[in-house]
Structure 1
Amino acid sequence: MDQMLAMRVFMRVVEAGTFTKAADSMAIPKPTVTKLIQGLESHLRVKLLNRTTRRVTVTPDGATYYESLARLLAEMDDLESGLAHALASPKGKIRVDVGGTVASLILIPALPQFYALYPDIQIELGVTDRQVDLISDNVDCVIRGGALTDLSLVARRVGTLSFVTCATPAYLKTHGLPKDPHALKARFPVASYFSARTGRITPLHYERNGEVVEIEGRHVLAVNESNAHVAAGLAGLGVMQTVNFMVKPHIASGALQVVLADWQQPTVPVHVVYPPNRHLSAKVRVFVDWVAALFTRLEE
């Protein structure tokens, strides 16, 4: 039995919750996973896992072994690679999850700069707006905007997204300029955004001199994806409130015109989130630092 491999497989099974997920994430056959776990339990003379037809749960002895093993393997990884060398020239594969808009408009266009600095790092980029289970999906970190809902995770705030309200010049020529947010509710059609998770319309939020206004507006179209939302605004289907970086080029070209600029609009924090019990390797640390610098430049 390859004891080192067996220990790593055991950790992956605990994190993934099933032998199948562990096998898939490590690209090894499921029977090999089963054999390695059985061999490890036989070697230790302790039952580490309880198996059912649907899920694997860790025994009390297995939980203790897992915690000790996590620390041991993290220290071994640092010793083998040489921490100083790893920081200077990190290498290996990392799994990152990010929303579609941030991936296509911010992260991917800038990745050539990252690879120029760290050519030996491979990134497996999951692009989805769904909530990812970092542990069972074996993801090193996720980049997400908005308030944190799972306080058990470790998060680093790397930036802030600002919003702007705009419409096409043709739309504004037909409907006129809204003088205040209340006008959007009264007579200006709005291109609305609704949550793919809850199905609820996201209200437009404005503040000025202590006055707070939240309205849904009268929409002719509502969408649940950011790129489609911008497309709706560009098609002249209504006033839209969206993330500034998405429409900045269209505003610069004159395709869209800013309205209600004298009202403050919401900001959304951006975090890189990772599991609390996972050793943050040098390759993940340099990626997180690079993402933080990327969002700092975006805000300038």
Structure 2
Amino acid sequence: MDRFEAMRLFARVVERRSFTQAANDIGLPRSTATQVIHQLERRLGVRLLQRTTRVVRPTLDGEAYYRRCLAILQDVDDAEGAFAGTKPKGTLRIEVQGTLARHFLMPNLPAFFAQYPEIEISMSESDRWVDLVHEGVDCALRWGELADSGLVARRLAVLTRITCAAPAYIKRFGRPKSLGDLGTGHQVVGLRRFTTGELEPLSFVVDGKMHDMPLAAPFSVTGPESYLLATRLGLGLAQMPHFHVAEDLKRGSLVTVLANTPPPSAPVSLMYAQNRQLSPRVRAFSDWLTRQFRKSVAGIESVDGEL
């Protein structure tokens, strides 16, 4: 294994805190990965990693070498990617919210692989917060306002949202015609924040200002698909991105309410760590995904820009 590949392996071991997981990521036997790191330590004359039965951590020298490796590898990747005709290659590990994956990402994947045949995608689905570096994930596709995490976030689109309800709910509780009507016994399908368990209030934009309306939530969930199903069943009012309920609105299984005071729009962002910023694979995927949102999303209000 040449020096650059040994650096890549070492960086992955540091990020994954595991020889086994780093070796799997790169496609090497664990014994080979261990041997390469031993040879690297002998060549440098320092101990780079502290090994225990549960975890692998960099020493002080290892942490300094890791930072130098990242800078060197980024320069190499960027230099190689700058030449015309050079195609990104290798495995791209992505974390995606399931709703976004099914609506926007997966239907367009054949076109992506036709354009980038040497990239392999390993995708996992969840709405949880992901430690991209330590879990070996290259980027995560998320929608909604993002907490300050120290990650780079490229905004791909801003999606319109609506307040909606099932006909069965309207029949039972009536159709609210103003925000004041919500205080007359209306209820919501509760959407709980995955990280804190707190209920998201209904939010409305009135004369350019946002107003939160917490209502009773006899039933609450954390997942978007269960949230949509509960709304279809008439268990309460809900607020969702338009794309997620477009077919329900056409079929009449859901109807829009309070259209004159809509919820605030929500951004869709691709998040990645600083040390992945120049990865040709991430850059290619990010540029391609931006084009997909431009072409396929109804209700986009704005695109592009880093947060």
Q: TM-score, normalised to structure 1's length?
A: 0.88
Give 2:66's aligned residue: 66
- Indicate if the aligned counterparts of 1:195 and 1:201 stay in contact, CA closer than 8 A: yes
Structure 2 residue 9 is matched with structure 1 residue 9: yes
User: Offset of 1:69 from its aligned partner?
Assistant: 2.3
Give 1:49's aligned residue: 49
- Which residue, 260, 265, 271 being the options, matches 1:273? 271
User: Offset of 1:35 from its aligned partner?
Assistant: 2.0
SS at match of 2:134: coil
User: Offset of 1:83 from its aligned partner?
Assistant: 2.7
Q: Given the superposition, is the C-alpha separation of residues 280 and 81 from structure 1 closer, same or farther in structure 2, using an over 3 Å criterion?
A: closer
Give 1:214's aligned residue: 212
User: Offset of 1:138 from its aligned partner?
Assistant: 1.6
Give 1:112's aligned residue: 110
User: Offset of 1:2 from its aligned partner?
Assistant: 5.3
Structure 2 residue 138 is matched with structure 1 residue 135: no
Aligned-partner Cα distance in 1 for 2:207–2:74: 52
Give 1:243's aligned residue: 241
| Unmatched runs of 5 consecutive residues or more in structure 1 | none
User: Offset of 1:79 from its aligned partner?
Assistant: 5.5
- Which residue, 249, 252, 267 being the options, matches 2:250? 252
User: Offset of 1:251 from its aligned partner?
Assistant: 0.9
Q: Given the superposition, is the C-alpha separation of residues 193 and 182 from structure 1 closer, same or farther in structure 2, using an over 3 Å criterion?
A: farther
Give 1:36's aligned residue: 36
User: Offset of 1:210 from its aligned partner?
Assistant: 5.8
* Deviation readout 1:117-156 (Å, 9 max, x if unpaired): 3333321111111211111222211111233334422221
User: Offset of 1:212 from its aligned partner?
Assistant: 4.4
Aligned-partner Cα distance in 2 for 1:210–1:76: 48
User: Offset of 1:81 from its aligned partner?
Assistant: 6.6
Give 2:150's aligned residue: 152
Paired residue type of 1:131: W
User: Offset of 1:247 from its aligned partner?
Assistant: 0.6
Aligned-partner Cα distance in 1 for 2:105–2:277: 24
Give 2:260's aligned residue: 262
Q: 187-196 or 224-233: which moved more?
A: 187-196
Aligned-partner Cα distance in 2 for 1:82–1:177: 57
Q: Given the superposition, is the C-alpha separation of residues 123 and 207 from structure 1 closer, same or farther in structure 2, using an over 3 Å criterion?
A: same
Q: Given the superposition, is the C-alpha separation of residues 35 and 119 from structure 1 closer, same or farther in structure 2, using an over 3 Å criterion?
A: closer
Aligned-partner Cα distance in 1 for 2:163–2:37: 57
- Indicate if the aligned counterparts of 1:166 and 1:259 stay in contact, CA closer than 8 A: yes
Paired residue type of 1:199: G
User: Offset of 1:78 from its aligned partner?
Assistant: 5.1
User: Offset of 1:286 from its aligned partner?
Assistant: 1.9
Paired residue type of 1:42: R
- Indicate if the aligned counterparts of 2:276 and 2:282 stay in contact, CA closer than 8 A: no
Aligned-partner Cα distance in 1 for 2:166–2:103: 21
Paired residue type of 1:127: E
Aligned-partner Cα distance in 1 for 2:116–2:98: 24
Q: Given the superposition, is the C-alpha separation of residues 49 and 116 from structure 1 closer, same or farther in structure 2, using an over 3 Å criterion?
A: closer
- Indicate if the aligned counterparts of 1:169 and 1:255 stay in contact, CA closer than 8 A: yes
Mapping of residues 81-230 of structure 1, within 5 Å? 83-86=83-86, 89-209=87-207, 212-230=210-228
Q: CA RMSD in A?
A: 2.4
Paired residue type of 1:9: L
User: Offset of 1:246 from its aligned partner?
Assistant: 0.6
SS at match of 1:200: coil
Q: 4-13 or 159-168: which moved more?
A: 4-13
Aligned-partner Cα distance in 1 for 2:63–2:261: 53
Aligned-partner Cα distance in 1 for 2:118–2:18: 31
- Indicate if the aligned counterparts of 2:201 and 2:214 stay in contact, CA closer than 8 A: yes
User: Offset of 1:67 from its aligned partner?
Assistant: 2.6
| Unmatched runs of 5 consecutive residues or more in structure 2 | 301-307
User: Offset of 1:219 from its aligned partner?
Assistant: 2.8
Aligned-partner Cα distance in 2 for 1:230–1:10: 44
- Indicate if the aligned counterparts of 1:184 and 1:190 stay in contact, CA closer than 8 A: no
User: Offset of 1:46 from its aligned partner?
Assistant: 1.8
Aligned-partner Cα distance in 2 for 1:279–1:198: 29
Q: Given the superposition, is the C-alpha separation of residues 50 and 231 from structure 1 closer, same or farther in structure 2, using an over 3 Å criterion?
A: same
Paired residue type of 2:99: T
User: Offset of 1:97 from its aligned partner?
Assistant: 1.0
